[in-house]
């Protein structure tokens, strides 16, 4: 028994939930369509290129939720998961999660996407433990700002170590599955890094280091 860590976007699902959420907000008429869509595309390119400023991005991503409550978001979540997440769920991802569950591993999704977006997706995947970027709340309402250390790049290492300390878990023997070169810090920190349908840079690193490379989409 050990830790089985999973990135979410383009790893357990065949798409990027953060990017899709941005488009969803446009389609729901909750943000300016031209400005928001253009910024959403720009930030996504920066992420793919390894140039993302996570603090700047979180201000953009969480800003539209300012003033909302968990209850007001829940109706949006139901529509979002049904229309945008269900079509990109992967049977092999469910199978892989189940393999680790049978082994008795503790399963954790650790993602740079905020938990307002990813908690319903983790629930749909049947995963209890979720580490993601957190949204600030005051008096029961989201402020549109981030809270704590973002679980992005080196931040994922910090967050999982803090989680392990709080949960009495150990990183010894941990496996981490990811598609992105942005996750190299955590991939390098675990005993069993696995590249899943990797981007070009991560594939190169995996080949050089002899890491396993798998696909959940074939």
Neighbours of 138 (CB within 10 A): 8
Q: What is the pLDDT of residue 50?
A: 93
Q: Nearest-CA neighbor of 28 among 59, 72, 86, 71?
A: 72
Q: Distance between alpha carbon 121 and the CA centroid of its chain, in Å?
A: 10
Question: Does the pLDDT at position 218 exceed 90?
Answer: no
The DSSP bridge pattern shows strands 141-147 and 129-138 to be antiparallel
Chain segment 142-199, per-residue pLDDT in tens = 999 999 999 999 999 999 999 999 999 999 999 999 999 999 999 999 999 999 999 9
Q: What is the pLDDT of residue 81?
A: 96
pTM: 0.96
Residue 121, judged by CB atoms within 10 A of its CB (0-12, 13-18, 19+), counts as buried
Please say whether the beta carbons of 22 and 97 come within 8 A.
Answer: no
Please say whether the beta carbons of 25 and 36 come within 8 A.
Answer: yes
Question: How confident is residue 1, by pLDDT bands cut at 50, 70 and 90?
Answer: confident
User: What's the topology of domain 3-214?
Assistant: Rossmann fold (3.40.50)
Q: What is the pLDDT of residue 47?
A: 95
Chain segment 13-42, per-residue pLDDT in tens = 999 999 999 999 999 999 999 999 999 999
Residues with catalytic roles = 7, 9
Chain segment 84-127, per-residue pLDDT in tens = 999 999 999 999 999 999 999 999 999 999 999 999 999 999 99
Chain segment 37-72, per-residue pLDDT in tens = 999 999 999 999 999 999 999 999 999 999 999 998
Helix 54-62 to helix 33-48 angle (10° resolution) is 150
Helix 70-80 to helix 115-125 angle (10° resolution) is 50
Please say whether the beta carbons of 109 and 6 come within 8 A.
Answer: yes
Question: How confident is residue 134, by pLDDT bands cut at 50, 70 and 90?
Answer: very high
d(CA 64, CA 138): 15
Q: What is the pLDDT of residue 24?
A: 95
* DSSP helix/strand/coil, 179: coil
């Amino acid at each position: 028994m050990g830790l089985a860590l999973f990135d979410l976007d383009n790893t357990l699902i065949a798409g990027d939930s953060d990017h899709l959420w941005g488009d969803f907000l446009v389609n729901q008429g909750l943000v300016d369509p031209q400005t928001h869509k253009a910024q959403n595309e720009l930030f996504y390119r920066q992420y793919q290129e390894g140039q993302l400023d996570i603090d700047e991005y979180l201000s953009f991503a969480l800003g539209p939720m300012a003033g909302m409550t968990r209850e007001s978001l829940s109706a949006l979540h139901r529509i979002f998961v049904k229309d945008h997440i269900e079509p990109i769920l992967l049977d092999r991802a469910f199978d892989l999660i189940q393999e680790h569950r049978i082994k008795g591993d503790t399963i954790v999704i650790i993602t740079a996407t905020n938990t307002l977006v990813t908690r319903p997706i983790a629930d749909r995947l049947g995963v209890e433990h979720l580490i993601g970027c957190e949204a600030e709340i005051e008096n029961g309402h989201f402020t549109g700002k981030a809270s704590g250390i973002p679980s992005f790049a080196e931040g994922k290492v910090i967050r999982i170590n803090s989680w392990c300390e709080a949960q009495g878990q150990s990183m010894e023997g941990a496996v981490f599955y990811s598609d992105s070169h942005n996750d190299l810090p955590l991939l390098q920190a675990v005993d069993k890094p696995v590249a899943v349908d990797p981007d070009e840079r991560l594939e190169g690193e995996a080949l050089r280091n002899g890491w396993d490379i798998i696909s959940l989409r074939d």
